[in-house]
Amino acid sequence: MLFGQSLFQSVLERLQAEAIDEDEDSATKAYRVRGLGASFIAEPVNPAAADLERGQALYREMMEDMPPTEPEVPPAPPEPPAHLLRLTPEEIAADLDLRTTDSVAVLAEKRRAFARLNHPDGVVADFREMATVRMKIANLLVDEAIRLQTV
């Protein structure tokens, strides 16, 4: 407490005094140079038509020296691998080489080996649908074989 004031009152007076000092400082800092804004000319947003035509003419002159380019022929789509064309359950069962004597562990290993060769993530994007169909059928066949083993 300063001279009979509460702490709160002294803090308020100090803050008011600082605010007055800041107002005086900002008034002295705010200045303007007369005529400064009038000495600059704003550049137009769009270039003049003459400048545009001149630039295009220079570009055409430069391009005359270059040999004409041949149009690029898009590459032929890749042929699907032969194993991806085998989509019937019988063909996939033959690829899996399923036997009635296979144990559950052997069937699981055959499933993993088939997935390594036929997984959709491992083929070109154009053939992912065929690979997905093959994987679905193979998984169904292996699941059925495992179910028959456990029954």
Banded model confidence at residue 114, pLDDT cuts 50, 70, 90 = very high
76 located within any domain: no
Banded model confidence at residue 89, pLDDT cuts 50, 70, 90 = very high
Query: What pLDDT score does 24 carry?
Result: 66
Residue partners of 5: CB distance under 8 A and separation at least 6: 13
- Mean pLDDT along residues 108-128: 92
List the domain range (segments joined by +) for residue 103.
82-150
Residue partners of 77: CB distance under 8 A and separation at least 6: 126
Q: Are 89 and 137 in contact (CB under 8 A)?
A: yes
64 located within any domain: no
Mean pLDDT lowest among 7-11, 25-29, 57-61: 25-29
50 located within any domain: no
55 located within any domain: no
Mean pLDDT lowest among 26-30, 80-84, 101-105: 26-30
44 located within any domain: no
1 located within any domain: yes
Residue in the structure block whose two tokens are 């002159």: 61
Mean pLDDT lowest among 36-40, 85-89, 113-117: 36-40
60 located within any domain: no
pTM here? 0.50
Q: Token digits for 91?
A: 């063909």
Q: Are 138 and 118 in contact (CB under 8 A)?
A: yes
Torsion (CA) 26, 29, 31, 37 in degrees, nearest 10 = -100
Give the phi and the psi of residue 76 in degrees, each rounded to 5: -65, 145
- Mean pLDDT along residues 63-76: 81
Total tally of structural domains belonging to the chain = 2
Query: What pLDDT score does 143 carry?
Result: 94
24 located within any domain: yes
